[in-house]
Amino acid sequence: MKADSIDLREKVVKAYEQCDTFIRKVAARFGVSQAFVQKLLKQKQVTSHVQPKKQGVALLRDGLQFYSKLKT
């Protein structure tokens, strides 16, 4: 699955933060799901950015490198 563009992610979060509105209205405006908007808002709160998380092989590779560093 292809990650949504960072531009879209930033626009969604900005629209929610600037407008005193509901998540469902922001989701409808941008054609995304309510769960996606909630996920972005949570990610922005926790990590202070909305870049897509690593997926698949990249995530596995980074995890294995981290684990191997712990063992040594």
pLDDT in tens, 26-49: 999 999 999 999 999 999 999 888
pLDDT for res 60:
64
Residues 10-28, mean pLDDT to the nearest whole number: 93
Domain, as residue range, for 57: 6-71
b/e per residue, 24-61, with b = 16+ CB within 10 A?
eebbeebebeeebbeebbebbeeeeebeeeeeeeeeee
Average pLDDT in the chain: 83
Does 1 map to a domain? no
Please report which confidence band the pLDDT of residue 51 belongs to, taking 50, 70 and 90 as the band edges.
confident
pLDDT for res 30:
94
Does 55 map to a domain? yes
Residue 61 has pLDDT above 80, yes or no: no
- Helix, strand, coil in percent for the chain, rounding step 5: 70, 0, 30
Does 58 map to a domain? yes
CA distance 20 to 4: 24
CA distance 10 to 69: 34
